[in-house]
Chain A
Amino acid sequence: MNIVPRDISGSRALAPLDVAEYLRTAGWQPVEVYSDGDVDRAAVWAAPDDSVEVYVPLRVQARDYDHLLAHVINQVADVEGRPAHQILADIRTTRADVVRVRKASAAADGRLPLAAGPVLFAATADLMIAAASAAVEPRSAYSGRRSRRVQDFSEHASFGHTEEGSFVVRVVVPLPPRLAPRQTTLPVIAGESRADLPFNRQVTEMLLSAVRGAYRAATRAMLERSLEPFREQVKHGVSADLCKALAAMASEDSLIEISVAWSRAWPAPAPDARPIGFSRDVLDVLGEAAGFLGEAEPREDFELTGFVSHLHREPGQGPGEITVVGDVDGRSRKIRVVLDERDYELAVEAHRREDALALIGDLRKDGRQYRLERPRRLRLVPEPAVDDV
């Protein structure tokens, strides 16, 4: 079925650059440019087999822009033997990687229960943020403020229109125009970002690497009955955040599939790979892995407030170790802290006066024991006097 002008002008105007980039990457050649004075008004492109030439408008504000562009797309569709709407969708995402998260329900009727919608979209966003964080620095877990690059990524990547085919959430990751001459395909090294690529492309590559790594780790974990395989995949982008996001997508009857369609404007690391599918049992393992990896990584800038329950220092002056009873994720925990001499004296004072102690540090879990490393900004939090109430 042909597309019509309102298909182009409806949601977002197609930029001439998008069209040119698509034609170029599809093997069309520019053969002529028509101008009106100093202004280029149209370009003629020849098909790869030279069977057809299309007249492509260059000025978005021209009155005939949408009509001519619709005509061009229909002509391109005839040449390529694909539906015009697919061509249009590809043009819109020529300069973007598209991540697809497909929730394949047993009913396969393309509908998603109301309650599941917000969860799936939130988990997909979390998945992308986890990949972006790993593209900056692979770690087992992320806490505190995200880096500027990750924040920028989350502001520029967006959800695209959903697709038929069970329920598909699309994330459109925009890429800048590629102005350098086309290069040969670059070698692929799993999990290693290529600094010459735009950051957003590094994120989608990391996403694919991490999702594959998570799947590998999960299947090994089920065989070995240990979550240790997940540690080995951290360098490939697997993190507690990524595992948690995937696990959140689980439901009784659904398979989750993740795939990436690479922008045509940039060299793809591999042809569009088969989707990576996660069944319910694998997603359950990922949920466990999220906790496992989360504990392996210190939580930076953790604010601890609690009462000193234990003091220990070797005879003489110098640093000592205290135990503070404080809240961690809603549960009361004993946290050990090594303090320098001055802070240790403050802790002693807090214990004597039965005042709470507040401090900031990096919370780490070793086995079943919590420790607060790099303690700083320690202060007493006196109990309010009766008269102050």
Chain B
Amino acid sequence: MTTLNINGKDYELALEGHVTLLEVLRDTLGFTGTKTACDEAECGACSVIIDGRSVLSCITLAQDCVGKKITTIEGLARGEDLLHPIQEAFIKEAAVQCGFCMPGMIIATKALLDKNPAPTEKEIQKGLDGNICRCAGYPQIMKAVKHASKLMREDNA
């Protein structure tokens, strides 16, 4: 049996070596917020945070995540009715169009802002460079990240 720590909780799982983290999250545990899209580690829709860094779960073996802290999009909200400031910001700035890239974008934003609470525009572009939005909603996404940065700094002040 393998233990994976996901969103602060331990899950005991019978895993085979070749199973990716993405498959465990979606198919075994029902965390379908993390998306299967390009399947080539190019689009970022499968992004999760492992030990503070955004990674691509479609090319991560689940067994290699033992002992690490995994955060998915489901782990961000602060309660049933309380969104994370990043989620609030993305909604307020109308950054969500079709929504498919959003979990990955928000996860990448969380990883960025946890490391760099007040990024410049260039740093935001770089921090989210592993996430593609086919709706081309980048201007709104940029605004949302800046807004989220402000909200998180106010939260921490």
Tell whether A and B belong to one assembly. no
Using a CB–CB distance below 8 Å, which chain A residues touch chain B?
none
B→A interface (CB under 8 Å): none
